[in-house]
A and B are shown apart, each in its own frame.
Chain A
Amino acid sequence: MTQAMHQVVVVEDEPGIRDVLRVLLTTANYRVVEAENAARGELEARAHKPDLLLLDLGLPDRDGVDLIRRVRAWSAVPIIVLSARTAEDQKIAALDAGADDYVTKPFAAAELLARVRAALRRNATGEAKSATLALGSIAIDLSRREVTGGAAPVHLTPLEYRVLENLARHPGTIVKQDALIREVWGPAQLGDTRSLRVCIRNLRSKLEPDPSRPRYIVTEAGLGYRLRPDEIADLDS
């Protein structure tokens, strides 16, 4: 990695998990600042202006979701939360409060690092600046609004393109389904997830090598979708 070291503030009360995260992130060339509770986390975030906040939701002094809200009041720093699989409501609350992504505990090293990279990448490039994304042999050019390549020409309907575009603006990170519907169909259609499901199915049949086992457009059950272009998928493995 040629760029300057990114700094990550890790807010986690369990020393064991903190240790693992520190080892993992420093090995991957990040500078790590640790905090063991929400108050300390907020302080460190203000002091260090980190590139990323990695946050456990179950903190001893304050609710992690509350910390997200407070940080969001003054900063757009990418926030990734760590959450248990059974805590669906907590996950949703965190995303609603402004978290960018979540990683389920127990996490796998590769997955965590991929999410971290995706979040940093989004922040570094800003929205929609990154010109092209590769999905296998298919290339998405966001600036020219084109999808090219593939065995056969890919024809997307305007709706399909806009869904894909919204996913591609945050490659590798989760895009909530109501955000997608609001952006593409408009706020009046909120709650009409059926149109979104059909649209995603069509996109997959046009872009995925095996639409029944999607590689690029990944479902986050109950939350939304995530686009995994090659550069992120490659890093995952």
Chain B
Amino acid sequence: MPPRYTFAVSDVQYLVTFGVMLTIALTIATLVANVRQQTRVAGARERRTAMLYAMSRELAATRGRSSMAEIAVKHVAEVFLCEAVVLLPDANGKLHHPSAPPAPVSYRGSDLAVAQWVHDHGQRAGFGSDTLPAAPALYLPLGDDQRALGVLGVLPQSQRRVTLPEQLHLLETFAGQIGLALERENLAAQAEGARVAAQGESLRNTLLASISHDLRTPLAVMAGAGSTLATHGDELDAATRRSLAVSIESRAREMSELISNVLDLTRFESGSPALRRDWESVDDLAAVALQRLDARLAGHSISLQLPADLPAVFVDASLVVQVFANLLDNVAKYTPPGCAVRITAQAEARFVRVMVDDDGPGLPAGDPAALFDKFHRGADEGNIAGVGLGLAICRAIVQAHGGEIRASTRAKGGARFEFTLPMEPA
């Protein structure tokens, strides 16, 4: 279209064309720029969404408020290029600095007084807000109106990164997610607390029921034998008097063992008791238990066959004696007289494995592991005394030493109880 190579317009009509085309070009340029901007915004939004999702996912896989706080801090710091802190309240609603060692991105200089105000009022404070706008950091409440769950504090490298409305909105979204996660954790803790309380309640009830059953029988025997001796003692021959007295004594010992077991179990239930550990030889401990149960096991043939070079174990002697005593007591209760009991042991990598075998009727049907549960008793035990605490205590003691205990039926018949004891301080 002549004239070429010049901006001179030869015809007025082309002037119009030029105008139109310029407008179109400008419009297109603007539109393209807009699209590009939108793409960028969408990209940024997508990245943020991804970051939010990453945090939520990690929070969902975490237990414990302080671990959650650490994860939240890590993500917020990364997304907003800031130092961050999550301040959690104690049972009285008072905020504390985290007890965990601070990460590089942790905001250490947070102002607890401001944070507490935020926590109590449920409003944010610090720069970019109506309260204390001159403060270097921004504090946002976590949780909803009903329940304050903590405060998120951020100290950005540049405040502009956070005060832009879109960024601020995003930060609030993050705070919301953290709040939700903490809320979930709180609910879980409440549910757990309720479960434990209920279990404790049922434990007490079962314990009371079992104990009163197991105490009543020996008490009845003792009262009967005692009153017989008191009122008719003179008419009885010496042998009868003696047998009544013996049954009073043996029933009383039974009850005393029961009480000891209950006390032991309570001790283990209320947290792990301090172990008085020392190097002990297994044959010593087994012999003490055998001696203690001598009378009860009189009808059984017992052999203790330990290798001469069995290493010493590092255990609480009286507790391990109790393990042996409870296992042997079980043998006395659940196998007929005349059964053979064999105690053997072998050294393994870091443990000594002890086996107590008998050739009695074997384990009752069902999961052998359940035998170690509190108050577990075989289905047809009938009149055998015992509240099913003995094996539970064995398990508690062995586990407190870092060992394991299990029961099995032997291939040749009879039961095997085996447990491990550590050879070295853990």
Point out residues on A near B: beta carbons under 8 Å: 84-86, 88-89, 105-106, 108, 177, 193-194, 197-198, 200-201, 212-214, 218-222
Contacts and interface: CB of A to CB of B under 8 A. Distances in A.
A221 B317 contact: yes
Interface in B284-330: 284-285, 287-288, 290-291, 304-306, 312, 316-318, 320-321
A136 to B, nearest CB: 17
A106 B253 contact: yes
Contacts of B253: 106
B256 A106 contact: yes
29 contacts: A84-B260, A85-B260, A86-B264, A86-B267, A88-B276, A88-B318, A89-B276, A106-B252, A106-B253, A193-B279, A193-B280, A193-B312, A197-B279, A198-B281, A200-B284, A201-B283, A212-B304, A212-B306, A213-B290, A213-B291, A213-B304, A214-B287, A218-B291, A219-B285, A221-B280, A221-B318, A221-B320, A221-B321, A222-B278
A106 B250 CA distance: 11
Interface of B: 249, 252-253, 256, 260, 263-264, 267, 276, 278-281, 283-285, 287-288, 290-291, 304-306, 312, 316-318, 320-321
Contacts, number: 61
Nearest to B290: A213
Contacts of B249: 108
Contacts of B280: 193, 197, 221
A217 B356 CA distance: 24
Given A108-B249, A222-B316, A212 B287 contact: yes
Nearest to A105: B256
A219 B287 contact: yes
Given A213-B287, A222-B278, 6 more contacts: A85-B256, A89-B276, A194-B312, A201-B283, A212-B305, A213-B291
Report which residue of A108, A177, A213 has the largest number of chain B beta carbons within 10 angstroms of its beta carbon: A213
A213 B284 CA distance: 9
Contacts of B305: 212
A193 B316 CA distance: 13
B404 to A, nearest CB: 22
A110 to B, nearest CB: 11
Contact of B317 (A106, A213, A214, A222): A222
A146 to B, nearest CB: 27
Nearest to B284: A219
A219 B288 contact: yes
Given A85-B260, A86-B264, A106-B253, A221 B285 contact: yes
A201 B283 CA distance: 9
B290 A201 contact: no
